Amino acid sequence: MTQQMDLQEMSGRTILITGATGLIGSCLIKALIKQNEMEKLDIRILALIRSREKAEAVFGEAYHSGAVKFIGGGWSNSLR
């Protein structure tokens, strides 16, 4: 079963994606970046990462483009 999501409904909203450098998170972020560019959706993407180096490797120039706001975090930085 395949369902299509109408991303127009997400226009102007903010999405937080955890596990941004993982397989699913990175594919989702790349798809959102592409749709934002193509359809001018103005979806703000916040991406939770554990490693800046890995995020740079996974996202390349998109890491520095400002299309996504990367936030460092993870279980090792848990609240106390």
Give the Å distances, CA to CA, from 28 to 9, 17, 31, 47, 66.
Answer: 17, 8, 5, 10, 17
The whole-number average pLDDT for the span 29-54 is 94
Q: How confident is the model at residue 9 (pLDDT cuts 50, 70, 90)?
A: confident
| Contact status, residue 20 vs residue 50, Cβ threshold 8 Å | no
Q: What is the pLDDT of residue 16?
A: 96
Q: Which residue has the higher pLDDT, 73 or 42?
A: 42
Identify the residue whose tokens are 């450098």.
Answer: 21
The whole-number average pLDDT for the span 28-53 is 94
The structure's pTM equals 0.82
Using a pLDDT cut of 70, give the percent of the chain over it. 86
Q: What is the pLDDT of residue 80?
A: 45
